[in-house]
Each structure stands twice: as structure tokens, then as C-alpha cells.
Amino acid sequence: MLADSMTQNLSTEAPSRSLVPTPSPSRSLSWRVASNLFVSFRYAWAGLSYAFQTQRNFRIHLVIGTTALLLSVLLGLSRVEIAIIGLTSGVVLTMELLNTAIESVVDLTVRQTYHELAKIAKDCAAGAVLISAFAAVIVAGSLLLPPLLELVRSTIVLP
């Protein structure tokens, strides 16, 4: 009997209807369901606080993004350019939050054991953060460097 169920789980055939659970409209298995919008925002803030307190890279990205935004305002970039820098910085922070969530779920699933698929999931999530950070550097560099170099040229009097 056990061998039959194991064989059935390994089969490439579609499972029979009786094995597929039907979704229930009841959320009895959910916990801490937000009862209103304020509670939802409180949960979101808890996630941001957790990331800020525990994730070094989140703090680094936050400082760099804030610095880029402040520099763009000080250099007099247009509103569109400031918005682009803000959006790319926001994407990096969002990717960092998703990376943290994926790592937490993977750690919960595999616990203290090594699993190649867990490594792949965590590495891919980290790679997504890396790509978004590179894109943000390219965007911020292309928008900030020209006015920054012009400022340096105008303040340094060359003989």
C-alpha cells in the first residue's frame, strides 16, 4: 500500500480528482489575518522593521538610495530624474525584502540541513538583488555624474 502511494506520487500522470484538495473559502488555517487596513499596514511595517534590524544589506541599500536621492535634489536634477532614482532605489529595497522573505521560508523548510534546491532558491534571490543594485548604480551614475562633474569643474579653478 505504501509502495503504491509512493509510486503514484512519483508518476508523471496527472493525479486523480480525489487526491487534489479543493480550496476552501474558509481561512481557518490562516493566522493573524488583518482585520482592517490599519492592521495590514502594521504587519507591513513589522516586515520593514525586521529587515532594517536584521539585514545589513537592507540598511546599506537604504543609506545609498537615500544619499542618491539627496544628492539628486542638491544637484538640481529634474523631477523626472529624481523620480527615476527613487524608483530604482525602491526596486532594490523591494528585491532585498523579497530576498529576505525567500531566505526565511527556505530556512523554515529545510531547517538545519543542506539541500541543493534550497541553495538554488537563495542564490537566485540574492542574484535578483544584485542585478537590481547594478541597474540602480547605472541609472544613478548616468543621472548624477554629469552634474556632479560639472560642479567639481566649476569649483576647482584650473590654471
pTM above 0.85, yes or no: no
**CA-CA distance, 92 to 58, in Å (whole number)?**
9
Could you report the per-residue pLDDT of 147-157, keeping only the tens digit for each?
999 999 988 87
Choice among 81, 96, 103, 150 that is catalytic = 96
The type of residue at 89 is S
- The confidence score (pLDDT) of residue 38 equals 87
Class of domain 58-149: mainly alpha
Helix axes 116-155, 56-74, angle to 10 degrees: 30
Ordered by start, the domain boundaries in the chain are 58-149
pLDDT attached to residue 156 = 86
Contact status, residue 157 vs residue 99, Cβ threshold 8 Å:
no
pLDDT digits (tens, 9 = 90+) for 102-118: 999 999 999 889 999 99
pLDDT at 143: 98
- CA 129 to chain centroid: 7
CA atoms of 141 and 32, how far apart (whole Å): 43
Which positions of the chain have pLDDT values less than 50?
1-18, 20, 22, 27, 29-30
> Is 150 labeled as catalytic in the residue annotation?
no
